[in-house]
Each structure stands twice: as structure tokens, then as C-alpha cells.
Structure 1
Amino acid sequence: MSWQSTTIAILILACIGYHQINASALMQQRNRRSIDLNAAHMLISDARLDKAVIPTAYKLEFTAEPEEGKFNGVVWINVTWLEPSDEIKLHVHQDLQVTQAVAMLSIYSVENNEPKLKTENVRIVRTERIPKKPLYVLHLEKSVEKGTDCQLQLSFSGQLSNETSEGVFRTSFADKTSNECKWFVATHMRPNNARRVFPCFDEPSFKTPFELKLARPKSMMALSNMPLSKTTDMENREGWVWDTFQTTPPMSTFTLGFVIGELHNIESGAVDNGVNVKIYGRRDYLEPLKDVPNRTRRVVKELQSYWGLDFPLKKLDIVALPNYYAVRPADNWGLIFFKESELSRTGVWQIAQEITYQWLGALATPYWWSDAHINKALASYMAAWTAFKIDNGAELQGKWPMTILYSLYYEFSKRYPHARITGMKYETTASKTELIFRMFNYTLGETTFRQALRKFIREKEYKTFFGDDIWSALTEQAHTNRVLCRQVSVNEIAGSWITKDRLPVVTVTRDYKKNSAVLKQRVYLRDRPHDVPDQDKMLWWIPIVLVDEEKLDFHNYTPRVWMKKEREIEIKDLPKENQFIIVNPEEIGPFPVNYDIQNWNMLAQYLLNNQEGRSRIPVYTRAKLLHDAWNLAYAGDLSFATALNMTLFLKYERDHLAWDPVFTMIDHIGRHIDSSEVHKKFETYVRMLLTPLYEELGSEPKPDEDRSQTHLRGLAKVFLCRAGYKPCIEEAQAVYKKWMESEDPDEGNPVANQFICPVFKWGTREEWEFGLQRVINFPPSRKQSERTYLLKTLVGCPIESWKIDRILNITILEDNGNFTETDIYLIFSMLTGGASGYTTLFHFLKNNWEIIKVRFENKPHLWDSIITSATNVFTTQEGLDMVSELYVQRQGEFGTAEYIIEKALRNIKEETKWSDENLPVIEKWVDNYLEQQNSEEKVKFLRK
């Protein structure tokens, strides 16, 4: 009996009931909905199959010819009809050639209580490729009844990708031992690239077993999802063999993977449950991978413990691929491909994330890509949990969750989040969902959260799921454990967060006589004006976790109450009037909190004056208080005097996590007030704030110094240099001088990037002119990225207008041939970074209007760019008057930039309001601060 008929017989015996169950499940899934993104925002808009015919098994034979850049093969697909149909529709990429197609029906009956198989060839009358879609249709000579089985045999061929790492691709490297060019052939099927490799039903919901047979030269090795079953010589091809791998469990096409090449492995042994873990790479790159086996074993062990479920396959192979171009690793089931540089890095987070997908993605799979953001979010959360479990968070210290949280605060507070970029929306939605999982882990309790996920993964083994299934599992467990009332579902809570491109802010106003407080929620907006449509209709389920000064209990995260999509609630039994409260400590939920002035002032005084108490407030919460205060002030919801008071305790703060939001504050406020007289005073405040920190850290790293200290020193130095810290400028000039004195300065740049901007900002005319000549004379043989960085700093760092005028004259008026249009576009962009830049550009445009208009007559992108950069960044009444005068003077001459200047005027009016309200407050506070600091210095001097 042939392989095909034997396989069909086995499938009939094993799957008579399976087809009925699978068909029923598919129909149920088609009628279900989950917490979904709008279809327009989905990451992947794909050609869907109608599911009249579904696959139940694959056998794939594949031969690659890496040196010729070609491949070919045969695939046998067992399918069954869920609805009567005279066609079979499947995915075939436009670049994949189908050379032959055969369909063999399987008709079975039961005689004497035994299944009897009869096969019947059904003629394919024609094949059809759907224009502009990766769909391939087999039209049959007759309609086939529901429940009928069939085996398709399709021969195919194609080209190995050489420029991208998707589908099936080849990559080469020079072997140092043999001085030969060596080839790898590998696959990256995610998200929908299996159709580039072989004809298939390329959707995540179709989970079927795969049997793979690969051809390879005897000098090479092949790896796939499953262990090797047998190796046999190829007929009629000397020196080549067939590797047949064990049949996989049911899985989606995007998790299929293989690699063929001269692989060498580092033996790493088995994890507790016996799964065989091996790390592979090219022979010359094994040394940097020596620590990977240990890190991988620890990750697998922790994840097995969390899921309460053994690793789903018998083995896990991880391969460091040379010249691998994909943005992220290829997480095939049981076989993961990394870039060499990524796999050799220290830490476990990225390894943990990819191995998490072995359970959450391969074992249990999202039904469609609309739920991929939930899958990605939970996998990222699990990776962070694993990293904290293994090294107590040393690798992620400061990066998670604060980095993504602060980015979300910034993005979702814009008037137009994501700038209408779908890919960015997908990423921010996934990041927000990751933080929602973190919120539930806190508010429901880690025990409930873990129990729910364990139950979920067991129920969805070898199956697909919707996002709702995860939320439902959490709901059921929370009800069982009595940590959530029966009338409330996690689905509803999660939906209030995930379906909005916004985040809330909660305002707490205390009544100190009644020991109560009113809490109000609304949309958090930084950009002005705050006129976002439908903002009054947006409400969230918000957990109110509260800590008071008397107890300072940062271990109990059970919400005191939930704001159940309520605009306003009242809470009672608060502490005495002389004690502060903190709402949402440790950023349990992704929302900032505002307080009445008295509570803010009590917090500021406590952090400043109570050294022992300050250490009892965790650093994430100290960082939150700083971050919330200045963001709310920036948004116009809090006085800058109050926000700046919150920075006073920093004179005693040495944890980089608390300092990180301060650097962002310095940057944002500094840029906003750059064009005012307050700015110089603010820079003095920055120097006085940062100098003690930097001097205590020292200018050079200490032996075995913690990375966080290195990070903190680096940021402190950058901002001190920017604020005119004299030792920094002198150090930068000393290093720069060596370059100026070198015999051939165009041969290379010996100056570290950190020193270049201080020289161009604070240095001499001679130093800046030297930099200009290096850009003009830059040799084409050197990396152009070095020239780009030099040009950026040459233009973006100076505060003296003559330097900016000089570069504008050379590039625009003189039309110097050493500068391209790309350079000019970059120059305009860099000049928006500071008041000196955009103000000088404005006057240059105004004074040379006719010449520039002619120069850019046929270059609307440059014309629009100079109008944008020269008019859109002003923030004061003086700037508004200047731009208004130009608009009136040149009415009708702006051409394609007419809408740009009109938009600029609207923006400047809003920014002027901000400046009128806040600059006097900032100036008064800074004056008082500087006066107090000077008084303290005088007292110290007198004591000496």
C-alpha cells in the first residue's frame, strides 16, 4: 500500500470523530467575537479562506539548492469538506509556482464493524490564481459532499530569498577555518509566509499535524520542529540524503520551521522533565554562545513551573543564524532562530519571550490576527515575569514597566495618537494590554492570576483561542477565589482599557474635615487644546489602591474600591488631615493621579525631610509621584510650583529609577521655555540639581560598577553638558583638540559622540569651523552614518546664530555641491530642536524669501519643510507676532505650505497661552530656589 493510502486509512481510524468535533468547533468560532481592534487597525489584512474545505494533515518533501537559489518540493494535504463544494481554495504566494496538482477522494464505509476505504480520483478541470491575492483555486469536475475526505498532491518550486529573512531564505558566511563560503537555508513563516514556501491553508486557526522530509548534502545538518526519525540515501543523487522527522502535534503553518547548514552545537543537557535543549551556531561563533544553554535551561524551568505544564515538545533547538535580517527571532515550535548578536547578549528577557511563545502561540494559538496583540502582550508580560524571577529584575531594572508606561502616557495624551500609523497603534495596544495583565496580577492576586492562566493553557492545548478566552479564564478563577464579585467580569474591565486609544487621569480632592475624598476620572491629555471628540463619553474600570502615611503598606494591592466606569465616586475613612495618601502606588494601573495642593505639599515635605520614611516608599512609587506631577503641570492640570517642589528631595535621591523621569522633565520643559528669558535661570537650576549627583558618582566608572550607576552618570553628564557645566565643556574641548591637531583629520573621527555636541554648542568659532570642514571634506570611503551624525550636531547643537546662518548660507544661498537635498531636509529638521535654531531659520527665511522661493520652486518637499521648521515651534507672544507678520506680509505666496503656516499660527496661539500661564510661575519658583541655594552656600562659607 502506498504512503498516501496508508496515511488516509490511519486518519480514518483515528479521526472519524475528530472531523465532526473539529467542524463543530470551527463553526462555533466563526460566530464568536472577542475584544477586538477595529479591522482598519489590524496589523495584517489578509485574504481569508472560506472554510468550506479544511486541512487535517500535511506531508511535505522539500529540496533546496542554496548555491542556485532555488527550491522545489511536493506537499500532500489531507482535507475534509465542511460544506458541499466543487472547489478547493488555498494559499499560494504569487512567486510560488505550482507545477502539478492531483486530488484523490477518500470514501469509506463500515462493513462487519470495520472501516473500509475506497479511493477515487476526482479530476481538476482547471486551476485559478485570484488576481492580486495569494489565493489558488482548484476547480473540480463535480461537487463534493460534506464530510468527504481527500488528499491533495501538489508539486511546487520557487526562489530562495536572498535579501530578506522571510518564507524560505538562504544566507552565507565565510568560514574562518576552511576559508570557504558556507550556506544556510532556513525558514521564517510568521505571520503568513508559509504560502511563500508551499501551497497550504495559511491561517493560524488551521492546526494540523505535519510530517517533514528534507533533502540535504551529507556534509550538512537539518533541524526542524521535531526530532529526527530516520535518514536515508537519496536515489540518483550521490552525497545527498533524506531526513525524515517525527510527525508534529497539531500546529499552525506559521510555527513550521527548518534549517539546513553546517551546524555545530553546544551540549546543554536536559531540563527536569527530560526535554532536550541544544544551542547551535556556526563553528566560529560557538564561544560567544557558551552561556546560552544555562540561560535557556533556567528560562524553560521557570516557565514550566509557572504554567504547571511540561515543555510541549521533546526537544528545543535554538540556532544563532549568521546574516539573519528579520526584525525579531523566528519562533518556530521547538526550533528558534536568533540573530547571532542577539543570542550572545547577556540577560534572559528575549530568550524568555521567544520560549514563552512555545506555549502561548504554538501550543495554544490565537484564532486570528485580531487577537495577536493579546497574545503578544501576555507573552511579553510572562517574559518580564521570568526575567524578574531569575535575576530579581537586574536586567530590566528601569526598563519594565516604566519605560513602556511612560511612552504610553506620552502617546495616548496627544490630540492625535499614533499619527494615524496603524503599525504604531498595534504596538501601543499590545503594550497597554501587557500593563493590563500586570494590573490584574496585582488586583486579583498572583495566585488567582496564575491559576487562571494554568487552566486556560490546559484547556487550549493544541487548539486556538480568542482574546475573550483569556479574560474569561481570569473571570472564572477570580469568582471561584472570591476576589471579584459575581456581577463583574474581567472581560468588561479589560475591554474598557483595550478598546480606547486613551488613558484616564484620576483626580483626588480630599475633604480634610470629613476625612473623605472625591475621586474623578477623565481623559488624560497633554496636548492643547484639550478638545478631543467624545472625551466626555470615555470611562474606565479603575482599581483604586490606596496607601496612607500612617501605614505605608506597599504589600497589599487589593483595591479599596473600583471606579466602575463612574465619572465620580467618594471614599471615606481616610487618615488625619496632616497625613498624605498615595493612590495607584507602583503604577498598578496605567493612569496618572492628581491631588489637591495640600496632599501634594505633604508628599513633597515628607520626601524632602524624612530620610527614613522616604526609603519606605518604593522607588517605583517615588518615580511615579515625580512623573505624574510634572506631566500634570505640563498639561495645565497642576501648578508648576507644586510640580517643582516635588523635585526638592532629589538632593538625597540616588536611585536611577527615580531620576529617569526628571531627565525627561528637564528636556521637555527646557525645550518649551528655550526662547524665554527664564531659560538661562532654568539651566542654572539644572546645574545646581545635577552637579552634586554627578560629582558623587564621579566622572569615570568604578570597578564592577552596577549598570544602573553607569546609566545615571551618563544621563547626568549629558544634561549637565547641555546646561553649560564648565568641567564637561573643558573635557570635551580637550578631546576635540586632539582631532584638530591630527595629521589627517578626515581619515577618521577619534572623538566620542558625547563630546561633539558640547564643543559645537559652547566652543569657539575655530572649533565649529573645523567640524564644518570635516562634513564638507568627508571621504566617501567612510561610513556615511558618521557624516550624518556630525552634520546633525553641527546644526542642532549651536546656540550662536552666526553658526546657523553660516550653514544656511552655504547650503541654500551658495548651493554648495557637498550638501544634498537630504542634507538640507535634515538641517531644517535639526533646527527645530532649540530656539536659537528655529528663530535664526525664521529670520533667514524672511530676509531671503525671494531667493529661497526660486531655489525651492520645483522642490515642494523642501519648501514645505523650511516653512514648517521656521514657523511651527514658537511658544511665546513674540514668536506669534513674528509669524503673524510674515503671514500677512506674504499672503498668497506660501503655495503648498499655505495650510502649514495656518496650522502653525493655531499651534503657537495655544503654546502662547501655556507660556503666559506657566512662565511666570516657573521663573518665580526658580528665583526662590536659586536664592535659597545661594543663602545656604553663604551659611556654609561663614561656618568655615
Structure 2
Amino acid sequence: MTWVPRTETYEIDDRNLSTAEWFIFNIQQTGYYRVNYDADNWKAITTHLMQPQKYRSISPANRAQLIDDAMNLARGAYLSYETALNLTRYLKHEMDHVPWKAAMTAFNFIDSMLVNQGDYDILKNYLLDLLENVYKDVSPNNFTDDADKGEDMLKLFKRVEILNMACHLGHRDCILESARHFQNWIEVPNPDTNNPIPPNLRGIVYCTAIQYGNEFEWDFAFQRYRSTSVSTEKELLLSALGCSLEPWILSRYLRRSISGDDIRKQDVYRVFAAVSSNVVGQQIAFDFMRNNWNEIKNYLGSTMSNINAILKFATKRMNSKFFLAELESFVKTDVKDNGRSIQQILEQVRVNVDWMARNYQDIIQWLQREAATRQQQKGASLATH
């Protein structure tokens, strides 16, 4: 047993263990601190987790902790992404919600940084491969009408989050199921009072159907937004309406958000958040904000928190020097505000630019090697059958 003093960091040099053994700290994640290990221990932990018959000897909480620590240490440049990503390979046979939750949180950031890059498909395919078994695990009940009745809460959360990630990555079955359920809603009598989509899956179904649909699906959802008086349903629909991949629909949506007709002032930031989260919509949202800055400010009045929120959402995934220069110019000539909130927004984009410069090539090269290895393994497997 080792007593860890109350200091910012604490390093243990002599673990008196052979390189074949592994150990972990912060059992059951009882402490609020991150744990970094030497290269040998990270490798030993990864080797252990890669064994489908043995990985459960480490508790779900600690498996989640290992993923969370490794990926965040890599993000902060305290650990190589090669080491962190090597650890995530074991997720191919992970079935527990808690480690997957940690993994999805970590990969959401990488996804947001790489989604506009030409090599994004390598990341997408890697994640879809990791999801294959856990998707099958939740799929027997994934979109059924009674799937959210009497189900263990952790299983419910797992199902919703796995489906959300799968649909986001373009999983064919997930897209088809979402489209089918959305079409069922369109076809029922009185869709404003009769929604057959399970409540816990509506956000996924709405977004996916609108993303892969056209103007008809978008207009149907917008009409449901106008008709419903349920605040949670309004919020779901506002977010889903930003999922369209049609630039003109997204531009129309942003224009409607400041027209004062259907969307409340306090919800304008939700519209910008939804459009900005869309791979197609981020630049559209920033351009719209820049071209209509004075109109937006006049419409929202003195609600600076909402104005700053709009700027934050429209820039949160910017990660190139070109976009940083555009943002700095916009802040200088139009925003004319050097307050703390604006400086934090600028700093976040600078951090993103720095992260890309430090990590992009390393991550892509790792993903390329992993893709080649998996292809070889599949080829060898086919040759033996």
C-alpha cells in the first residue's frame, strides 16, 4: 500500500514488479485524480484487456478509468496517442456501458477535430469496427416500441448511446431503422398527438431521419415543433432540425431563428448549437453569424450570454490557422469585445489548432496501421475457412 500525499502530482518510481505484471491505482475510481503509468505497465494492461476471457478481472469502473485517463493524458500531451489508442482496441469485446461511455466521450473530441479532414473515413471505420459486437448486443431491442419499458437504467443508457454513436458514424442498419420509425410517425393519423417513436430514442431517430432525408422530413419535423407544447419535445426537435445536410435548409433554419415568428429568443442559441454541431453546418453557422452580427445583436438585445453562446458554438470545432485568423479578424472588426468570454473562445480555437499540429499525423498513421493489421487478420481468417 502506498500513501499518496495531497500534492498536485505524485510519482512512484520503484514498483518492484517485473515487466510481465501489471497494476492499477485508484481502485473503483474512488479518487478524483488521473493516473499515468510507465510504458511497460500501459502495455501490460493493454495486453490483459485484449484477452476476451480475462478483461473482466478489471472492474467496469476501472476499465472506464483507464480509457478516460489514457485518452485525456494523450490529449494533454502527457501520454502518446499511440499508447492511448492501443488501449481502445480491446473495446471490440467490451459490453459494459461504463467503459463505453468513457470511450465515447473521448472519441467525440477526436471525431469533432477530424470530421472535416480527408482521412476521417479511417477513424469512422475504426469506430464502426469497435462497435460491431456491442451494437449486436443492443440490437434485438434497439428500436422496438417497448424497449424502454421496465429496462435496467444502465442498459437503457447503453442502448441509447451506442445507437446514437452508430447512427452518427453512418451505421447502415441504424440509419434504416431510424428512417423507418420516422416514416411510421409521418403516416400515423394526428402525428401531433400520436408519436409511435419510443421517447428515449426520439433524439436519435429525429436527427438521423432529417440528416439522411430531404426538405419533406425537415418541414414535417418543423411543423411538429410548432405544434407541440411539451418543452422537452421542442428541445429535441430544435436540435434535430440542425442535422440536415442541405446547406440551404440550414441557412433557412438560422434565418428563421432570428425572424421572431416561431422560435423563441431564448432558443436561438439552441439553433446555432445544432447547426454548428453538423459537419456541413459549422461554416454555415459562422458565416451567417458574421454576415448578420448586428442584426443578431439587435434581435437578442442585451442578452450577452446568449450572444456569447452563439459565438462559442459556431467556433468550437475550428482547428486551422485559416479559421483562427478569420475569427480573430471578426472579433477585432465586428465583435469589438475583449472580455473574458471572448478571450476564452479565441483560446479554445488556438488550443484546437495546436492539438491538430501535435497529434493529427500521429493519430492518422496509427489508424492506418491498425486498418492494415485488421485487413490482414480478416484475410488470414478467410484463408483458413
| TM-score of the alignment, normalized to the shorter chain, above 0.5 | yes
Q: What is the Cα-based RMSD across aligned positions, in Å?
A: 3.2
Measure the CA separation in 2 of the matches of 1:611 and 1:743.
49
The AA in structure 2 aligned to 1:922 is I
Other-structure match for 1:605: 47
The residue number in structure 2 matching 1:878 is 322
1:227 aligned residue? none
Residue 844 of structure 1 pairs with residue 297 of structure 2: no
Distance 1:928 1:768, change over 3 A: farther
Q: Is structure 2 residue 362 aligned with structure 1 residue 921?
A: yes
Q: 1:648 aligns with which of 54, 66, 89?
A: 89
Q: Which residue of 2 aligns with 1:802?
A: 248
**Contact persistence 1:872–1:901 (CA under 8 A):** no
Taking only the aligned residue pairs, the percentage that are identical comes to 24
Shift in Å at residue 647 of structure 1? 1.2
The normalised TM-score by structure 2 is: 0.83
Verify the 8 A CA contact 1:872 1:905 in the aligned structure 2. Answer: no
Q: Given the alignment, which residue of 573, 580, 592 partners 2:34?
A: 592
Q: How high is the TM-score relative to the length of structure 1?
A: 0.37
* 570-579 or 909-918, which deviates more: 570-579
Q: Is 1:785 the counterpart of 2:223 in the alignment? A: no
The residue aligned with 1:290 is: none
> Structure 1 residue 857: deviation in Å?
6.3
1:657 to 82, 85, 98: 98
Deviation at 1:713, TM superposition (A): 3.1
1:75 maps to none
Verify the 8 A CA contact 1:671 1:834 in the aligned structure 2.
no
SS at match of 1:595: coil
In 1, Cα distance between equivalents of 2:119 and 2:106:
16
For the 8 Å contact 2:207–2:240, the answer to whether it is kept is yes
How far apart, CA to CA, are the structure 2 residues paired with 1:571 and 1:787? Answer: 55
> Which of 66, 71, 85 is the matching residue for 1:625?
66
1:498-509 equivalent positions in 2, closer than 5 A: none
Judged with a 3 Å threshold, the aligned counterparts in structure 2 of structure 1 residues 696 and 899 are, in CA distance, closer, same or farther, namely closer
Aligned residue in 2 for 1:668: 109
Letter in 1 for 2:21: Q
Instruction: State whether residues 673 and 679 of structure 1, in contact with CA within 8 Å, keep that contact through their aligned partners in structure 2.
Output: yes
Find the counterpart in structure 2 of residue 204 from structure 1.
Answer: none
Q: 1:718 aligns with which of 161, 164, 169?
A: 164
Contact 2:92 2:132 in 1 (8 A): no
What are the Cα deviations for residues 813-839 of structure 1, in whole angstroms up to 9, with x where unaligned?
A: xx2512221232331343443454332
Equivalences, count = 376
Match of 2:136 in 1: 695
Deviation at 1:743, TM superposition (A): 4.1
Paired position in structure 2 for 1:760 = 210
Contact 2:254/2:272 (<8 A) preserved: no
Q: Distance in 2 between matches of 1:938 and 1:706?
A: 39
Look up the equivalent residue of 2:47 and give its one-letter code. Q
Tell me how far apart the structure 2 counterparts of residues 589 and 707 of structure 1 sit (CA, whole Å). 25
**Corresponding residue for 1:904?**
345
Decide which of 723, 742, 745 is 2:191's aligned counterpart.
745
* In structure 1, C-alpha distance between the alignment counterparts of 2:132 and 2:52, rounded to whole Å: 21
Contact kept in structure 2, 1:825 and 1:865, CA below 8 Å: yes
Q: Is the 8 A contact 1:629 1:638 kept in 2?
A: yes
SS at match of 1:922: helix
The alpha-carbon distance between structure 1 residues 836 and 636, as it changes in their structure 2 partners (threshold 3 A), is: farther
C-alpha distance in 2, partners of 1:581/1:562?
16
SS at match of 1:645: helix
The alignment status of 1:729 with 2:179, answered yes or no, reads no
Q: Is the 8 A contact 2:318 2:349 kept in 1?
A: yes
The whole-number CA distance in structure 1 between the counterparts of 2:214 and 2:311 is 30
Give the aligned residue type for 1:751: I
Displacement of 1:657: 3.4
* Structure 1 residue 880, shift from structure 2 partner: 0.9
1:72-94 deviation per Cα after TM superposition (whole angstroms, max 9, x unaligned): xxxxxxxxxxxxxxxxxxxxxxx
CA 1:850–1:643: 2 relative to 1, 3 Å: same
Could you tell me which runs of 5 or more consecutive residues in structure 2 were left unpaired when the two chains were aligned. Answer: none
The Cα offsets for residues 666-700 of structure 1, whole Å up to 9 and x where unpaired, read as: 33332344444444432222211112221144331
The corresponding residue for 1:772 is 222
The aligned amino acid for 2:185 is: W
Residues of 2 paired with 1:938 and 1:766: CA distance? 44
Sort the Cα spacing of 1:925 and 1:784 in 2 relative to 1 into closer, same or farther, 3 A.
same
Match of 1:924, SS state, is: helix
Q: How much has 1:730 moved relative to structure 2?
A: 0.7
CA contact under 8 A between 1:724 and 1:762: conserved in structure 2?
no
Alpha-carbon contact 2:225-2:238 (below 8 Å) kept? yes
CA 585–885 in structure 1, closer or farther in 2 if over 3 Å, else same: same
- What is the identity, as a one-letter code, of the residue corresponding to 2:33? F
Provide, for residues 367-388 of structure 1, a one-character-per-residue CA deviation record: whole Å limited to 9, x for no partner. xxxxxxxxxxxxxxxxxxxxxx
Structure 1 residues 695 and 561: alpha-carbon distance in aligned structure 2, compared to 1, 3 A threshold: same
- What is the Cα deviation at residue 762 of structure 1? 2.7
CA distance in 1, matches of 2:8, 2:168: 45
User: Per the alignment, do residues 769 and 932 of structure 1 end up closer, same or farther by CA in structure 2, a change over 3 Å counting?
Assistant: farther
Say if 2:276 and 2:285, in contact at 8 Å, map to a contact too.
Answer: no
How far apart in 1 are the matches of 2:97 and 2:307? Answer: 43
CA contact (8 A) 1:678 1:919 kept: no
DSSP-derived class of the 2:16 partner:
coil
Q: Residues 825 and 879 from structure 1, CA distance in 2 versus in 1: closer, same or farther, beyond 3 angstroms?
A: same
Q: Tell me which residue corresponds to 1:822.
A: 266
Contact 2:4 2:10 (C-alpha < 8 Å) held by counterparts: no
Measured in 2, the distance between the counterparts of 1:810 and 1:705 equals: 39
**Equivalent-residue separation in structure 1 for 2:321 and 2:23 (angstroms):** 40
1:579-617 alpha-carbon deviations (Å, 9 max, x no partner): 333333333533221012232122212321x44443433
Aligned equivalents of 2:23 and 2:42: distance in 1? 9
Alignment of 1:264-303 (within 5 A): none
Structure of higher RCO (CA pairs closer than 8 Å, 6+ residues apart): 2
Question: Which residue is 2:23 aligned to?
Answer: 581
Evaluate the alpha carbon distance shift between residue 900 and residue 583 of structure 1 in structure 2; reply closer, same or farther with a 3 A threshold: closer
Matched letter for residue 140 of structure 2: S
Cα distance, 1:850–1:565 mapped onto 2, change above 3 Å: closer
1:863 deviates by: 4.3
Give the Cα separation in 2 of the matches to 1:808 and 1:565.
48
Matching of residues 132-531 of structure 1 within 5 Å:
none
Aligned AA (1:665): A
Distance 1:823 1:748, change over 3 A: farther
Larger Rg: 1
Question: What is the DSSP-based 3-state SS (H/G/I as helix, E as strand, rest coil) of the residue aligned with 2:141?
Answer: coil
Match of 2:126 in 1: 685
Structure with more of its chain in helix, by fraction: 2
What is the SS of the residue equivalent to 1:770?
helix
How far the C-alpha of 1:740 sits from its partner, in A, is 2.0
Q: Is the 8 A contact 2:257 2:271 kept in 1?
A: no
Any idea what SS the aligned residue of 2:36 has? strand
SS at the partner of 1:589? Answer: coil
Higher strand share: 1
CA distance in 1, matches of 2:219, 2:3: 64
Mapped to 2, the partners of 1:758 and 1:579 lie a distance apart of 45
What is the distance in 1 between the residues matched to 2:374 and 2:289? 43
Q: State the one-letter code of the partner of 2:335.
A: F
